[in-house]
Copies of this chain bind each other. A is one copy, B any other.
C-alpha cells in the first residue's frame, strides 16, 4: 500500500473527525485495551502428559536427591514436617509431604501496592510485567557506554516505572553501588524504590542480619507494623537455593525472618541451563520445579499459606562461551514452560522474560525482549520479571529501554488479551451491511465509519507512545523521529516533574531521622 492508496484516502475522508472525537474521550480503566492481570494461557509449550512427566520427575528428584545445606533452623522446620535428613547431609522430601504442603499453600495471592490501585491479583493465569535483577551497570545510551549504577539511578527507575502503564511492579533492577555499607544499601534501596513508586516493590536483602532493620523501615514507612502486615507493599526476592539442589543457607535464614515479619517471599531458583541446571530445557524446568517445591514445603511448614511466589527462574547459557544468555528462543521456552507448571500447581508463579543480551536498545534488544516477554505472557505467567530495561545478560539497566519497554509490553499484553469471539465481534451483521447495504443505507464497501469500528477503536487497540507508524513521507516531514532520542526526551520529562509517589513530608522527616537516607530530601 503506498501513500496514495484508495484505502488511505477513504480513511482520510470517511470518518476522521468522528474518530478524532472518539479518541478524545478518555477511557475508564476497565475499558483500556490492555491492563495488568489479563489472563494468558493459550500457549501451552507442554502437553498435559509432558506436564505430568515434569511433575513426577521433580517429585522423584526431591525424594531421591533432595537438597543439601539447609541451615539448622531449616533442618528443624523441614524434618519436623516430615522431610528426611540423610547421612549425606541432604534433606529428602517424600512425595506426600510435597503434595500436602502444596495443598495448604497460598493460591490466590494479591501483591499490594502502596497505592491499592496498583494491587496485583496473581490468581489463575493473570499476567503482570515488571522489572527485576541486580544489574551493576547503567547503560548510557548517549555515550554508547556502561558505568556503575547508583542509588539515584535506582530511584529514577522507580519514578519512571511509576508512570508507565504496562510496567506493573518494580522489583529492584540494579544495585546501588555508591552505598558501600551493605545494611545502608538495603535500607536505601527500599527508600529509593518506595519513594519513587506506589506500585508493588520487590527487593532482596543481602544478609539475614539486615532483615530486622529492613522490616523496621517498612513498618515505619507503612505507619506501623500492623498496617504493613495488612498490606505488605514490599516482597522479598529470595534466592533460597543454590542450584543444583542446595539450599542457600544464609538466604534461608533471611527468608525465615521475612516470613515472621509478614513479608511475601519470592522463592527464586535461578539455575543456568548447562551450568547449574541441566542443559536440556525439560531438565532445567524439572530442577527449577523441584527446588521451588522444596521452597513451598519450607515456607508452608513454617507458616501455612504464607504468601509465596513460585519463582522457577532458569536462565539460558551460551554453551560456546559459558556466559549467561537471557534473550534466546531457549529462554522463551524455559520461562513459558515454567509458567505452565505454575498453572498446573495453581500457585502464583514468576519467571524471567524481557531481558536481553544486547548492550544497547537496538534491534537485537527489541527482538530479544519481545520474544521472551510475549511467550511468557501468552503462556500465562503471573509475574514476568526483568521484563523491561534489562541489558547485557542482566549486567546493565537502561532507563530509555525501560521507557521503550512500556510500548513493547503493551503489544505483548494485547497478545495476552487475545481474540474475543462473540456475535458482535464475528461481525456478520456489519459485513452484510457494508457489502449489501440495507433498505435505508447503500453499501459503502468499507468499515471505516461503522458504529462498531468507532466505538471499539480505543478499547480494542493499543497505540504505541514512541513506536512510530508514520509513512516514510510523513517521517521525513517530521524530521525522521529517532526512537532512542525520543525515549531520552521522555525520560527527562518524567524526571523533571515532582514525583507523585514521594512519601508524605512528615513521614519522610521521620524516616530520615530514624535511618541514614542518602537521597536528598
The stretch from A212-220, A466-474, A495-503 touching chain B is A466-474
Would you give the shortest CB distance from A465 to chain B, in whole angstroms? Answer: 11
Asked if residues A329 and B411 are in contact (CB atoms below 8 Å), the reply is yes
Q: Which of A65, A319, A414 gathers the greatest number of chain B CB atoms within 10 Å?
A: A319
Asked if residues B370 and A415 are in contact (CB atoms below 8 Å), the reply is no
The stretch from A39-47, A188-196, A260-268 touching chain B is A39-47
Asked if residues B146 and A410 are in contact (CB atoms below 8 Å), the reply is no
Asked if residues B362 and A431 are in contact (CB atoms below 8 Å), the reply is no
Closest to A427 in B: B283
Interface string of A382-409 (1 = CB under 8 A from B): 0000000000111110000100100110
Which chain A residues in 52-70 approach chain B with CB under 8 Å? 53-54, 57, 60-61, 64-65, 68
Closest to A374 in B: B371
Given contacts A333-B415, A367-B370, A419-B45, contact A425 B469 (CB under 8 A): no
Asked if residues A367 and B364 are in contact (CB atoms below 8 Å), the reply is no
A208 at the interface (CB under 8 A from B): no
A77 at the interface (CB under 8 A from B): no
Asked if residues A329 and B419 are in contact (CB atoms below 8 Å), the reply is no
**In the complex, chain B residues whose CB is within 8 Å of the CB of A378:** 43, 45, 375
Number of interface residues of A (CB under 8 A): 140
**In the complex, chain B residues whose CB is within 8 Å of the CB of A281:** 419-420, 425, 460
Asked if residues B324 and A1 are in contact (CB atoms below 8 Å), the reply is yes
Asked if residues A358 and B468 are in contact (CB atoms below 8 Å), the reply is yes
The stretch from A106-114, A118-126, A445-453 touching chain B is A445-453
The CA of A401 and the CA of B371, in the complex, are separated in Å by 17
Of B60, B367, B463, which one neighbours A369 at CB under 8 angstroms?
B367
Asked if residues B323 and A471 are in contact (CB atoms below 8 Å), the reply is yes
Asked if residues B244 and A275 are in contact (CB atoms below 8 Å), the reply is no
Closest to A284 in B: B427
Asked if residues B461 and A367 are in contact (CB atoms below 8 Å), the reply is no
The CA of A464 and the CA of B393, in the complex, are separated in Å by 14
The CA of A457 and the CA of B88, in the complex, are separated in Å by 32
The CA of A419 and the CA of B467, in the complex, are separated in Å by 33
The CA of A425 and the CA of B286, in the complex, are separated in Å by 10
The CA of A319 and the CA of B428, in the complex, are separated in Å by 20
**In the complex, chain B residues whose CB is within 8 Å of the CB of A365:** 363, 366
Of B44, B427, B470, which one neighbours A278 at CB under 8 angstroms?
B427
A95 at the interface (CB under 8 A from B): no
A235 at the interface (CB under 8 A from B): no
A179 at the interface (CB under 8 A from B): no
Of B46, B54, B275, B426, which one neighbours A11 at CB under 8 angstroms?
B275
Can you list 29 A-B contacts with CB-CB less than 8 angstroms, sorted by A residue number? A7-B272, A11-B323, A12-B322, A16-B322, A19-B320, A43-B44, A64-B432, A65-B435, A144-B480, A244-B431, A244-B445, A275-B448, A279-B460, A280-B425, A286-B431, A316-B461, A320-B457, A325-B469, A329-B410, A329-B414, A359-B468, A362-B483, A362-B484, A363-B363, A363-B401, A363-B484, A366-B367, A371-B415, A395-B471
Q: Which A residues have a C-beta under 8 Å from some C-beta of B?
A: 1-3, 7-8, 10-12, 16, 19, 23, 42-46, 50, 53-54, 57, 60-61, 64-65, 68, 88, 90, 136-137, 144-146, 244-245, 272, 274-283, 285-287, 316-325, 327-330, 332-333, 337, 357-359, 361-371, 374-375, 378, 392-396, 401, 404, 407-408, 410-415, 417-422, 424-428, 430-432, 434-436, 445-448, 450, 452-453, 456-457, 460-464, 466-472, 475-476, 480, 483-484
